[in-house]
Amino acid sequence: MSRTLVEAAAPQELRLADLKPRGRVNPSPATWRDQILYFLLPDRFSDGGEGGRTLFDRSNPSTFRKNDKKQWMAGGKIFQGGTIAGIKSKLDYLQNLGVTTLWIAPVCKQRKDLETYHGYGIQNFLEIDPRFGTRQELRDLVDAAHTKGMYVLLDIIYNHSGNNWFYNVGGRPKTTEKYRFAPPYPVHGWRSDTGSSIPISSISPSDLEDGVWPQEFQDLDWYTKAGEICKWDPEGWEEPLHPDNEFRRGDFSDLKDLNLNRSDVLNAVIKVYQYWIALSDCDGFRIDTVKHVSWEASRNFCGAIHEYAESIGKENFLLLGEVTGGADMARNYLEIFGRNLDAVLDIGEPPQKLAGMTKGFREPSDFFNQFAGHDSLGSHRETGRYHVSILDDHDMVGRGKNRFAANNPNLEQVAHAVGVQLTTLGIPCIYYGTEQAFDGKESYHDFSIEPRDSNGKIPFDDRYIRESMFGGTFGAFETENCHFFDENHPTYLRIAAIALIRNGDNKIGLALRRGRQYLRETSILGRPFNIPAREELVAWSRILFDQEVLIAVNTNGTAVRGADITVDGSLSPIGGQMTYLYRSDWADSQLHTPPTDQTVNIISNGSRATVKIDLPPAGMAILTHFPSN
């Protein structure tokens, strides 16, 4: 394959942005339901230098613990040094885990004077942050992923720009103001590369660190200038579609809101991200803060992006939205004849139900009823196309800043929470570090070092769920200078084994990716069949045509649980057997090459076909029936 060369310098004017693809165009997957996503923050994932550091020793965790807690906490608020080239160096690690698609947090250029390591405060919409690497390195990463049969999603922001200018308050610069509908607040000046305010008219082509770029975004009429959002949701009968709602017009904290009600602004943002498709050959976008953009603007943006992608040969370019505010809000942004979002992240309540069921804290029906049309997204979830399942993520909206593994030493239970994602309806997404049982949690905070802020909250609490995976000064588990790319970790091994089954190029894999889903009734100790309660063994089937795959999870983390489980007698007939494809208590060497002789009989239980399964604490099993002929 000839190397794709990307021009070294980004255009300073959007009108000069070339939308011609840079080299080969990788086609989209037939369906995104076949994919396993992996979400990472470039700054926290890898710098490619792990070969010069020691692997974290789980048996002796104190070895790498940083003695200076204050320095460790401070490290979580600043750039750690991860790079795009570092991500590329870990493609084998990700592919061995079973990942098929990378979702990469924003890589556009941030303000030089701010520690916006997360990527969500853009200063130059057409350039890569030099702390992450170069535009060529992004293209090289995408090409390398495509060579391995993997896809890449770029995280983008179309609601706002970074903290690139100051409000004018009595002649003094101020980062934020309280929201007001009208009139627009006056602007004091652009933010310079040192964080000072400079006159509006003073930016020149040599001042690429000052203000905002490309040049078109220096028109201050492109911003609402309405101050910071205080009311984050519509109230009562307030029309959420209305573009003048506060949560649609205000700044996202100190990130300045773009006025997408203006066609020239919306068209500019559209061209920005068409440019990134042409440059990088990425396969989709995860779109940030969608709720804060009107339905009409979202529809027009998505339609234009889909049209461009289709014009260059990407027929199924994914537009995945982050829509907070619940299922009712999310539903209205979803696909309308292919001209809106293709899927939304299951943030908020769904991951709480997933975690609660897996830990035995919530009834299994709470989780599975989501797929049965009992809420606004039920019918969408039933197809498995419209939602991306998450467990941990970088925001943990409405859940406290605590990963699933926080205060939870059961490494198999962490794996099997992901296992539930991999075997239920939807597109599963793994957050970096979950496969290593990262335990990021608010309780890592030391209030004697940093007291609560003026709102009584932990300052920069997001840091504790954004640990450094490659070393640095803010490693997971309060460590520094050790890495966590352990392919023999019990959690990694079990996720990889389950993913191997799901990714299989056979009817079993297809059933797990695309099949219908049925929560199974169970009987415990001869009692009547019923939907299982919490802390019991829960089971469900995925069925595609004539293939049934049965999944069972023990939601009790401390005790063995067993049950007689209902199966489909026409697909798994009485007198036959179901064969184990996965059991979590197998030896590590058996997980990827399972024994072929471990089976369970399908028996008659009244009018039912059933199998009896016993699992260790937090255990999981996957079985199927192989016809004899």
Express each pLDDT in 275-326 by its tens digit.
999 999 999 999 999 999 998 999 999 999 999 999 999 999 999 999 988 8
Domain stop point among 465, 495, 525: 495
Q: Does 493 have pLDDT greater than 70?
A: yes
User: Which of 495, 525, 548 is the last residue in one of the domains?
Assistant: 495
Which of these, 422, 434, 436, lies nearest to 582 by C-alpha position? 422
Tell me the CATH number at 103. Answer: 3.20.20.80
Task: Kindly give the interhelix angle for 263-280 and 135-147, rounded to the nearest 10 degrees.
Answer: 60
Q: Tell me if 461 is assigned to some domain.
A: yes
Q: Which residue has the higher pLDDT, 326 or 86?
A: 86
- Say what the pLDDT of residue 1 is: 43
C-beta of residue 253 within 8 angstroms of C-beta of residue 228:
yes
Same domain, residue pair 491 and 519: no
Say what percent of the chain tops pLDDT 70: 98
Do residue 352 and residue 428 come from a single domain?
yes
In this structure, are 334 and 471 located in the same domain?
Answer: yes
Q: Name the domain count of the chain.
A: 2
pLDDT in tens, 443-491: 999 999 999 999 899 999 999 999 999 999 999 999 999 999 999 999 9
The verdict on 302 and 424 lying in the same domain is yes
Last residue of a domain, one of 495, 527, 560: 495
Judged against a pLDDT cut of 50, whether residue 412 lies above it is answered with yes
CB atoms within 10 A of CB 311: 10
Cα-Cα end-to-end distance for the chain:
45
CA distance 372 to 87: 38
Residue scoring higher pLDDT (235 or 377): 377
Model pLDDT for residues 196-205, shown as the tens digit of each residue = 999 998 888 8
pLDDT band, residue 430 (cuts 50/70/90) = very high
Q: Is residue 290 a contact partner of residue 340, using CB atoms and an 8 Å limit?
A: no
DSSP-assigned states of every residue in 214-272? SGGGG-GGGB----B----S--TT--TT-TT-HHHHSBBTTBPBB-TTSHHHHHHHHHH
Residue type (1 letter), 567: V
H or E, element range at 84: helix 84-88
Average pLDDT over residues 217-231: 97
Do 582 and 479 belong together in one domain? no
* 500 pLDDT above the threshold of 80: yes
* Averaged pLDDT for residues 28-36: 96
In a domain, 523, yes or no: yes
Is there a contact between 125 and 279 (Cβ–Cβ < 8 Å)?
no
Q: What pLDDT is recorded for position 386?
A: 92
Residues 407 and 546 grouped into a single domain: no
pLDDT tier at 242, thresholds 50, 70, 90: confident
Same domain? For 469 and 532 the reply is no
| Separation in Å, CA 108 to CA 77, 171, 176 | 19, 32, 23
Residues 6+ apart with CB under 8 A from 553: 358, 416, 419, 420, 537, 538, 539, 615, 619, 620
Q: What is the mean pLDDT of the chain?
A: 95
Peptide bond into 173 cis (omega under 30): no
CA distances in angstroms from 355 to 359, 391, 402, 493, 521, listed in the order given: 6, 7, 12, 20, 21
Rounded to 10°, the helix 507-514/490-502 angle is: 100
Give the pLDDT of residue 244. Answer: 80
Instruction: Using a cut of 0.95, tell me whether the model's pTM lies above it.
Output: yes
Q: Is residue 251 part of a domain?
A: no
Q: Which domain holds residue 80?
A: 14-158+263-495
Same domain assignment for residues 429 and 565:
no
Whole-number pLDDT of residue 241:
59
Task: Kindly indicate the confidence band of residue 237, based on its pLDDT and cuts at 50, 70 and 90.
Answer: very low
